[in-house]
Amino acid sequence: MKPETAPEAAPDAVPAAPRGLRIAMVCPYDLSRPGGVQGQALGLARALERLGHEVVVVAPGNRGPGWATDHLYVAGRSVGVRSNGSVSPVSVSPAAARRAVGVVREWRADVVHLHEPFAPALGYGFLLVHRWPVVATFHRSGVPQAASLLALGARRACRRIDVAVAVSEVARQSAALLCPGEYEVLFNGVDLDRFARARPGEPRAPAVLFLGRHERRKGLGILLEAFSQLSSSWPEGTDGPQAELWVAGDGPETAALRARYPESARLRWLGVVSDEEVADRLARATVLCAPSLDGESFGMVLLEAMAARCRVVASDIPGYREAAGPHATLVPPGDAGALREALVVALREPRDEGALDGAADHAGEWSMEHLARRYADAYRLAAGLHAGLAAGLHAGAPGLAGVLSGRAGGRARSGNVGAR
């Protein structure tokens, strides 16, 4: 779903606050570990500050509790919890959840933004007390294995969420299994400035780049198999590609995959790389390959590649399809042969500047600044609902919903999710 540009607020909309909002951004995942939700929480916080709001980010970390910076509070240490085919670095400590609520109370927030509200455990305290207006963003694709056990408690907790957001239609469908109701489907934001600052340089050879955790659902094993067979797919009578494969990240499959596919002149294992190096590598690579098998609610890495003017070859799964539109080559997930053929085409074809321009423009429509403006509307809507000031909206008036959704009669919530 492509993001839409919101029209001017309707006359019956809640007026903008005379000052910026004080927003507590609560992320359940350790910010010292790279991850999609962590990147979205931090990037959104920066974009909201540029719009004149004050933001504090509350999350677990790799240190004891306390203020890491003036705008980041670490509520406690994280532990690895297996979920959705991955290992998530979260806090499972009730004390950390209490500390999170306490620091937000002391900071005097206007609104609380919970990312993945049912991931343990920082968000639980806010759903229990419901002291502040709550906006909750659902990121994940799929539901936990213990969904049937969680369903009753989740539906009760959903009544404490004032505005529910999903990052994609896939994420909305997953969230609705636990919390039936209406959601505003927004998107994940691209930090365009990060890619504007990237240093492209010239690779020694055409390069394929993989970014992600080394775990089964990310499909790295499929990519390594496909890349090892590239020469067999090259047209007869021509030289095979002298392409390189750059593999960034780490994970539970790293050791086994490195043993099977050791480093060579054509295969480079980069390990965990910084955000700046990610941008630089995308600007230098010929192709970004995202061979995920499942479990992806949104194709953030695809849009980042497009912003860096890098071609994209990815699996044809719903989250990637929704984000990429016509600007990526999509192949059946898990099909090493199809992936190999798509890479051959991408490496052989001359660089199409017009196509790359179109893809970069597409990525620009998902900018973090655009997303921050949409969330600012969501925060004010949540504040109105929480305070009981939006009686007209409860009666079905479309104006305020239109402010958030970008169209009258949109899918902005008009009450607590679990209430329906």
Please, what is the Cα angle at 92 between 86 and 94, to 5 degrees?
160
CA distance 94 to 100: 10
pLDDT at 3: 57
Give the CATH H-level superfamily of domain 192-364.
Glycogen Phosphorylase B; (3.40.50.2000)
Return the DSSP state at 218: G
Where in the sequence of the chain do the CATH 3.40.50.2000 domains occur? 22-189+367-419, 192-364
The burial class, CB within 10 Å (0-12 / 13-18 / 19+), for 253 is middle
Cβ atoms within 10 Å, residue 128? 12
CA distance 366 to 187: 7
Q: Tell me the whole-structure pTM to 2 decimals.
A: 0.79
Amino acid making up residue 386: H
CA distance 412 to 405: 6
Q: Which residues contact 8 (CB under 8 A, 6 or more apart)?
A: none
Name the strand (E) or helix (H) holding 222.
Answer: helix 220-228
pLDDT at 158: 86
pLDDT at 81: 83
Q: Which residues contact 148 (CB under 8 A, 6 or more apart)?
A: none
Tell how far CA 371 is from the center of its chain: 12
CA distance 379 to 386: 10
Pull the structure tokens for residue 376. 């600012």
Which of 132, 118, 33, 130 is closest to 74 using CA atoms? 33
Name the strand (E) or helix (H) holding 312.
Answer: strand 311-315
CATH class of 22-189+367-419: alpha beta
pLDDT at 135: 97
CA distance 58 to 67: 9
Residue 257 to residues 182, 228, 250, 326: CA-CA distances in angstroms? 43, 13, 10, 32
pLDDT at 394: 44
- Residues of the chain short of pLDDT 70, as ranges, are 1-18, 83-85, 143-154, 202-204, 231-241, 389-420
Amino acid making up residue 220: L
pLDDT at 8: 42
Pull the structure tokens for residue 221. 């094993």
Pull the structure tokens for residue 137. 């963003």
pLDDT at 240: 53
pLDDT at 419: 43
Beta bridge partners of 82: 87
pLDDT at 233: 59
pLDDT at 297: 86
